Amino acid sequence: MSTRLEDTLAWMNELTAEMEERRKAVHRGGGAARQKKQRDAGKLTARERVTALLDEDSFVELGVFTEHAGFEMMRGLDAPGEGVVTGYGTISGRTVFVFSQDFTVLGGSLGKMHAQKIAKVMDLAVKTGAPIIGLNDSAGARIQEGVDSLSGYGEVFYRNAVYSGVVPQISAILGPCAGGAVYSPALTDFVLMSRGSSYMFITGPEVIKSVTKETVTFEELGGADVHGRRSGVAHFEADGDEAVLATIRELLSYLPQSAKEQPPFKQTEDPESRETPELLGIVHPDQRRPYPMVDVIRAVVDDGGWLEVQPEFAKNILCGFARLGGQAVGIVANNPRHLAGTLNIDASDKAARFIRTCDCYNVPVVTFVDVTGFLPGVAQEHAGIIRHGAKMLYAYAEATVPKITLIVRKSYGGAYLAMNSRDMGADVVLAWPTAAVAVMGAEGAANIIYRREIGGSQNPDSTRAAKISEYKERFDNPYWAAGRGYIDDVIDPKGTRQQLIRHLRMLREKEEARPFKKHGNMPL
């Protein structure tokens, strides 16, 4: 070996060794002490989260050696990797892009270069047609960088909005998320939170106390339970980082890589022809008797699999993902066990958002109906139930994915339309023999239609009962609506699974053109 070659190799080895030392320094993040503090708080480090989320040895890091922008107030401060780990890998063999904020580096604060690293992987996700997953753990805007850090947030927010509906965007809140930082997750398709270790709010407890004199803890103000049960900001909550990351993996199994693709098909050994006689024991024919609608769903779908979205928020309506004959579907269902399954403001918002998300990503929507109407009350009216209820009407009418509606029991009034009737664009409408479709229930209808007969009778109670019975026999069943073409078929509950799968298969290649427009104007 010549001396020149030996010198070249020695020089290259020195450069490679320097490169590896620099890489190790970046991987150490904020150092061993801060990483220990992170773990002692029950949280994984930024890199441990990426490893737990992705398939083994699949992560490819981008922007490893990025440094902060060097503003005057940042001089002398070290920020390995700019406080965020970015790159791509696979989940169940499918490519995803990910960014994971590192709280051990300047509290995971977002500066200009931190934001540009995130923007870079977002751009790549859209160019290649793959989901983007954000693992948020940040103190917020980097104060030392002033308006440049706000500009960084703007770059991310803009992409959240422009790329909405292009590729799935998923946000996991695994630590603090405050101030302007909360708006990026709020703009994404799904928000997941870790109980006890994450929170989201616009203004913190100290500011609130100084302005309104209210005293509140971080958890009480913006913890996972608050956003999963009261505000509706969070779609999923779980105990600890690992559980949140596992939920993301499950969620992605129902979603396509992008709006250009179909959701992944999953083979099942659950027979298409499997009958569901247990449904007869779940749903009582007495319309006033509540029952667990989730049991109906689980009985019908493949292997009882059900990933519920916002399970603790607006519990009078159920939204979630399942499979029928291997095909991913989104399910919307009234829940008679809560507020009698009526539609209120929160339920309308929850369902409308879920329907639109399914439509974005080509997930068929199956609707199970058992609804008396919209929730009455002064509070609901004054808070805008008209505006919020209109969101459901808009969402169903706007959606062009396959839409199947099954009327399990009652379907009355405006809620009949809001739960995806034939007129609102349902491709197939089915009903059980227990179903009833009308403007209102028999008691109320009879009191209005036959008020003169009842009022002029010598025995009003007896006449009222007779008229109610007469109305039920004529209208309070599925056959009047079926006769008018609003219901395609009245089916045996035991054959529900088979019927739904057959109709979904028929609709698989559905195409539906709409008039040209820039975009609609949803009632917000």
User: What are the residue numbers of the active site?
Assistant: 179-180, 414-415
The answer to whether the CB of 401 falls within 8 A of the CB of 364 is yes
From the number of C-beta atoms within 10 Å of its C-beta (0-12, 13-18, 19+), residue 361 rates as buried
- Residue corresponding to tokens 């998923």: 170
Amino acid of residue 369? V
Look at residue 319 and give its three-state secondary structure: strand
Q: Are 141 and 100 a contacting pair, CB within 8 Å?
A: no
Q: How far apart are CA 486 and CA 476, in angstroms?
A: 14
Q: Is 32 exposed, middle or buried (0-12, 13-18, 19+ CB in 10 A)?
A: exposed
CB 414 within 8 A of CB 429: no
Q: What is the 3-state secondary structure (H, E, C) of 373-440?
A: CECCCHHHHHCCHHHHHHHHHHHHHHCCCCEEEEEEEEEEHHHHHHCCCHHHCCCEEEECCCCEEECC
Give the type of residue at 50: V
Residues 6+ apart with CB under 8 A from 524: 387, 391
The CB-based long-range contact list for 141-147 (8 Å cut-off, 24+ gap) reads 141/109, 141/110, 141/179, 141/180, 141/181, 142/106, 142/109, 142/110, 142/111, 142/114, 143/109, 144/71, 144/73, 144/74, 144/77, 144/111, 145/68, 145/69, 145/71, 145/73, 145/74, 145/111, 145/112, 146/71
- Triad 376, 380, 386: Cα angle to 5°: 90
Retrieve residue 122's tokens: 């977002």
| Residue 200 DSSP one-character state | E
DSSP 8-state code for residue 67 = -
Written as one string, the DSSP assignment of 355-376 is HHHHHHTT--EEEEEEE--BPP
Please report, to the nearest 10 degrees, the dihedral formed by the alpha carbons of residues 477, 408, 392, 388 taken in order.
Answer: 80
262 C-beta neighbours (distance < 10 Å), count: 14
- DSSP string covering 131-158: -EEEEE----B-GGGTHHHHHHHHHHHH
186 HSE (CA, 13 A, CB side): 14
Q: Helix 147-162 and helix 112-128: axis angle, to 10°?
A: 10
Which one-letter amino acid corresponds to residue 498?
Q
Q: Which of 245, 350, 254 is nearest to 305 (CA)?
A: 254
